[in-house]
Structure 1
Amino acid sequence: MRTAIVLFTRDLRVHDQPALAAACANAERVVPLFVLDPALAGRSPNRDRFLVQSLADLRESLRGRGGDLILRHGDPVAETIRLAGETGAEGIAVSADVSRYARRREIRLRAEADRHRLSLRLFPGLTVVDPGAVTPAGGDHYKVFTPYFRAWSTGEWRAEVATPRSVPLPSGIAVGRLPALPAGESPHAAAGGETAGRRLLRGWLGGIDRYDDIHDDLAADATSRLSPYLRFGCVSPLAVARAAGDRAGPFVRQLCWRDFHHQVAYAFPDLSTVAYRPTATEEWRYDADALAAWQEGRTGVPVVDAGMRQLRAEGWMHNRARLITAGFLTKQLGLDWRRGVEWFHRWLLDGDVANNSGNWQWVAGTGNDTKPYRRFNPVRQAHRFDPAGDYVRRWIPELESIPDGSIHEPWLRNETLPYPPPISA
């Protein structure tokens, strides 16, 4: 093949990038392309900022290999076909994805590629194991995590692909300018890009042996924080899993949860809006004041408010805090999980359809949890995972004078504290 286009989507890296590697191995010239789709812009200022930073880093990596990142604005299908005509490309390579939007884009792209006599190849790379590669007997996807984990961890994984040494870009292409860096909403949000993600991964691997002991410790903040880089494909999920080692280990198990939700979303594209479990009882109440208090971190329940304030400040939240805050909204306040999906999707750097929606449904009891009536008592959770109250003090300075774990006790709420009393349903 003389010329191939690599359409980047959620795979913004050069290491273990199967679509890019295949194009570089089989075509004389390679055109890396990213299309800034106005249909996706503005949903999360935090992710918009992370995206632009990741694109800038990807462009530098490609330029270091003799190529460049071609940027276009508009409909990804139309812009890809247009660029194919401009460059004389014969084929298009793209990573397969699972969301309804991505699947529709793939269908339209295939139809247009066929119409213009272009080959279209889909590649893995967004998960450790492809969503359709591990299936139960008589079904298209696993509905329960544990049997999926057994099959996932013992099955065959693809080999990592080598990073291309050169990306031979055709001459005469207008590369396009990066957008101005958006402001974002979270002042302490992580910076995007493969360089930052791989640096974080290298540092994290040095302490991975302690993960099982401290990953739930809210104050220790000892999780990997790789989720935004996995969401944008700045690091390869497969490379992360292989580097972590033990397939049955607790950290790799978390990567399996990510794959699990992707295969659920692939089979059930309405995961963001429709209860996955058809027998789920959905008797949610409407309370705009309670929802606003939860969103703003002023419920009067310290560990909940600390998590919600961390979300706003960093565009990220500790996983244990996510369980506590989601459980409080749905099981304590009785508010619809969809409002939680929307709020997290606005703020989270790692917000995506599969994991954000899948985790919310799991907590709400409408999804894949085998114990749908499970509750997370926030006070008990706080005493267990923030026993000295350090996580709460970090994010709620109004309570910094309260000693030790007594910061979690509701009886301490009084009029002398600049902090609201606990709300309830």
Structure 2
Amino acid sequence: MQTPVILWLRQDLRLHDQPALIAAAHEGPVIPVYILDDDTPGEWRIGGAQRWWLHHSLTALAEALAEKGSRLILRRGKAVEVLDALMQDTGADTIHAIRHYEPWWRKAEAALGDKLYLHDGNHLARPEDVRTGSGGQFRIYSSFWKALQNHLPPEHPHPAPRDIPAPATWPKSETLANWDLLPTKPDWSPGFDEDWVPGEDEALHRLKTFAKKADAYDTARNMPSEEGSSRLSPHLHFGEVSPRTVWHATSGTTYHKELAWRDFTDGVVLALPGYATDNGRPKYDALKWRTGKDAASDLKAWQTGHTGYPIVDAGMRQLWTSGWMHNRVRMITASFLIKHLLIDWREGERWFWDCLIDADYGNNSVNWQWVAGTGVDSNMFSRIMAPLTQSEKFDAADYIRRWVPELAKVPDAAIHDPEAAGCLPRGYPPKIIGHREARERALAAAAAL
């Protein structure tokens, strides 16, 4: 009998273009295992929205494995301890996994030592291989993109194995239902069910649909009222489709740069593991963010979509209802929290971490610091997005009507700023703060540095 091999799954829940699976299957009988580890990540354990996705993604993966003559083993606990115990129980002496870049996973990988074989499969190129002239990680995206050209195009994706060798006996598995990943009291996920189907099959279907219109992405991605986004981000985050599969299925430099941005953000956290909590520019440690009762009230209004700025409120309600938000609206809502309300960007980052189905450690932290102006590669703090202007410029009227029903009957000419137009409907709040007042307050806080 051959010695079994453990396949450690994390954010790589697929069979197509899965190099760790391919390597394990060549070596011997494969025991695929997913570990629900809420201890190793600490404060960065996955949020509520991601747990909803994870439940359905694991369900789909288990079915796909069964079709290949295999099964998915579920365990809960600290990943290193669970894997050590599993090796003792099964007699396995090797573990195969795809490399991850979150600081907690890097520590876990190091703790497993030479029994762990890591493979590259979640990036266009290994972040370690895309280096500056001095050998460091890039901290400016434009320079990173230029250097990445030496590693492109990525290797073509590999097909899923025809079958997966199974061990003579299977270790015990926990039951997915017992993990309580789905919300019940209350169940806030009906909107998720309407918008999303997790799993590899849906990821490949969504990719096929998007590929037909990828050439228009440069313009369409900015229009909240249109379906111009790829909506592949949660599938990419959970590894239900590989970046190189997406690369070779799509065209257009703009969208390919979006894929490369994911690689770039992992390079940033590789160099700066604490980037999700530490300002990339230390001078901003002295910025006086608003705190106290009034700030807490404003934060709540932002979280619930009751700021009196229709485009901001539409975005925040879309996030709560569907676990996702249009990319341009993400920038608008983030800028509003940071600059208009002068609330610490980390408050918004944590809210997104819990509410986004595609919340990613590198992407989330780099994007928030980019908007805040505190990052190593970011906008200047003095650049303050004007939400009313942005809303009109990118024709967000229908988007607002969908997510802010109080404004459904407001005409296009007034819907971006119904208060100024004199047609503020009953039940919709006035602006929490005026744009000019907010801008002056933010600039004064920055000047004080």
- The answer to whether the superposition gives a TM-score over 0.5 is yes
What letter corresponds to residue 303 of structure 1 in structure 2? I
Task: Output the CA distance in 2 between the equivalents of 1:197 and 1:393.
Answer: 29
SS of residue in 2 equivalent to 1:330: helix
**How big is the shift at 1:66?**
1.4
TM-score, L = length of structure 1:
0.93
2:344 maps to 336
Task: Output the CA distance in 2 between the equivalents of 1:338 and 1:129.
Answer: 29
Task: Output the CA distance in 2 between the equivalents of 1:216 and 1:261.
Answer: 21
**How big is the shift at 1:370?**
5.3
Point out the more displaced range, 96-105 or 183-192: 183-192
Maintained 8 Å contact 1:127/1:238 = yes
2:198 to 192, 195, 210: 192
**How big is the shift at 1:9?**
0.7
1:124 maps to 120
Residue 223 of structure 2 corresponds to residue 226 of structure 1: no
SS of residue in 2 equivalent to 1:188: helix
> Gaps (5+ residues) in structure 1?
none
Task: Output the CA distance in 2 between the equivalents of 1:165 and 1:192.
Answer: 22
Residue 207 of structure 2 corresponds to residue 201 of structure 1: yes
2:15 maps to 14
SS of residue in 2 equivalent to 1:137: coil
**How big is the shift at 1:236?**
0.6
1:274 to 262, 273, 278: 278
Maintained 8 Å contact 1:99/1:353 = yes
What letter corresponds to residue 168 of structure 1 in structure 2? P
**How big is the shift at 1:170?**
0.5
SS of residue in 1 equivalent to 2:353: helix
RMSD: 1.9
Task: Output the CA distance in 1 between the equivalents of 2:235 and 2:374.
Answer: 28
**How big is the shift at 1:228?**
0.5
Q: Deviations over 1:183-241 (max 9, x none)?
A: 36342222321112111111111222221221111100320111011111011111111
In the TM superposition, what are the counterparts of 1:215-294 in structure 2 within 5 Å?
215-246=221-252, 249-280=253-284, 282-286=287-291, 287-294=295-302
After the TM superposition, list the runs of 4 or more consecutive aligned residues in structure 1 that deviate by more than 6 angstroms: none
2:69 to 66, 69, 84: 66
**How big is the shift at 1:103?**
1.4
Task: Output the CA distance in 1 between the equivalents of 2:250 and 2:67.
Answer: 28
What letter corresponds to residue 218 of structure 1 in structure 2? P
1:408 maps to 416
Maintained 8 Å contact 2:211/2:251 = no
What letter corresponds to residue 172 of structure 1 in structure 2? T
Maintained 8 Å contact 1:337/1:361 = yes
2:34 maps to 34
Same amino acid, percent of matched pairs: 38
Point out the more displaced range, 231-240 or 38-47: 38-47
SS of residue in 1 equivalent to 2:22: helix
Point out the more displaced range, 400-409 or 42-51: 42-51
In the TM superposition, what are the counterparts of 1:125-164 in structure 2 within 5 Å?
125-156=121-152, 157-164=154-161
What letter corresponds to residue 288 of structure 2 in structure 1? E
Task: Output the CA distance in 2 between the equivalents of 1:322 and 1:353.
Answer: 16
SS of residue in 1 equivalent to 2:75: strand
> Gaps (5+ residues) in structure 2?
439-449
Task: Output the CA distance in 1 between the equivalents of 2:37 and 2:229.
Answer: 32
